[in-house]
Amino acid sequence: MLNNTPDGKAPIDAIFQQRKWGFIGAGLAALCIGFYVTTVITSLAKTTPCPACNHNSAAAHPATAGPDGGPVAPTGRPPVLDAASGGEEVRQTAEAFDRGLDVPEFLGGIRGLRREMGRWARGRVLEVAVGTGRNLGWYDWTEVVDGVVPVDEGEKGKVERERERRAEKRAKRVERMKRASKEEVDVEQAKMPGWFEGEMLSYTGVDISADMMGVARTRLRETVPGLKKLMRRKRVEPMPESGVVVDVLDSRVRLCIADAEQPLPQPAPSSPAPPGTEPGKYDTIFQSFGLCSVSDPVKLVTNLASVLQPGTGRIYLLEHGRGSFEFLNGWMDKTAEGHFKKHGCWWNRDIEGIVREAEKTVPGLEVVHLGRPLLRQFGTTLVIELKVNPDAAAQKKAQ
């Protein structure tokens, strides 16, 4: 109970003691938000506004524009890496670039979105614009390594029991799905690994930057069970300009340096696939902050759709672009050039417009969901789910 003052009011110190955790929590929240906003503003405050970056300019939608209105095509590589002289300096610069994203992504809510989206991985997974591998820690690698990672003799019983536990859990999910679904369910297929979200069977990561891929390789080795025994801590050979740089576990885990605007690598023939699916297609495709970093984002979405399993496959995009308020969009236009020089992307692109344009262009491509989940980002962060409807695709091709 509070000891009231003569005028009947509780003293300040007593109120604070009773509610101190609420005050502390509110203060920390305000501090985090203030720090995040300050980080964004100070990173751009010294830049020159881009006169060509308005909502009708090329910088906002598929093409790009520089300060004189001329084309400046993003390469998918942060400019800070191009400035490094090479070798060890490039590696350290790439690692520093990656660490520099930790605080802004945590405070801005991006880390939580990456964690949530990682749970959606199913079957044969392709990640485009893998960058430094910031999504790798959020995938469940259990089914990927099952049966292909060497197991000590004393651990075999434990591994088999865990496999049986997963099978029982999957069978219960099938029964719940049968009761909840109005459509006929192929029970035997659904009982196989790779049918449900979270059951990733193989992983292929693609990025155009060899320097970023070097960091992703290290993170992959640290993340996937068993890879520390199979991969050197550092790659002996220099990173190639393109091609496969990691191919392990019977090609269930791969990293490829490639341009995502060109034909994408197909799943390895030896990698497992959910029953009833087409060979050469992916069941889940992830892409994070890539549409802002390529010269033709509609073509990128078209490429993703071309390797997606029709019907059951899903594309998930995590993007930033034009938001819900024009005053904010205007500020992003003015600071777009500075952001491009630092991060190599045009953050004021109309991402929804790009996806809608791809939807009209690609036979059968449909937007399943388009959301702007982070209120504190004022609609500038988008999570988009796409699929390819095989019936609509066939009908459109027949026209």
Domain that holds residue 90: 41-151+196-398
Residue 12 lies in a domain: no
pTM score, whole prediction: 0.80
Paired strand residues for 158: none
Cα–Cα distance, 249 to 256 (Å, whole number): 15
Residue in the structure block whose two tokens are 């801005």: 108
Question: Quick one: pLDDT at residue 228?
Answer: 92
> Measuring CA to CA, how many Å separate 130 from each of 136, 222, 255, 285, 361?
9, 16, 9, 11, 25
- Residue 114: CATH number of its domain: 3.40.50.150
Task: Identify whether the C-beta of residue 108 lies closer than 8 Å to the C-beta of residue 374.
Answer: yes
What is the C-alpha to C-alpha distance for residues 252 and 232, in angstroms, rounded to an integer? 18
Strand order in the sheet with 314-320: 243-248, 253-257, 200-207, 123-128, 284-288, 314-320, 381-388, 365-371
Question: Is residue 25 in a domain?
Answer: no
Q: Is residue 175 part of a domain?
A: no
Q: Which two tokens stand for residue 260?
A: 């995502």
Q: Give a yes or no: residue 186 inside a domain.
A: no
Q: How far apart are CA 231 and CA 233, in angstroms?
A: 6
Instruction: Please tell me the predicted confidence (pLDDT) of residue 260.
Output: 93
Written as six digits, the tokens of 76 are 């998918």
Separation CA 167–CA 171 (nearest Å): 6
In contact, 122 and 196? CB cutoff 8 Å: yes
- Number of structural domains, the chain? 1
Averaged pLDDT, groups of 10, the chain, 399 residues long:
50 54 53 46 43 38 44 63 59 81 90 96 97 96 91 84 88 82 73 89 95 93 94 84 93 96 93 91 96 93 97 96 90 89 86 96 96 87 96 72
Are 322 and 348 in contact by the 8 Å Cβ rule? The answer is yes
pLDDT at 150: 83
Q: Is 11 among the domain residues?
A: no
Please tell me the predicted confidence (pLDDT) of residue 55: 39
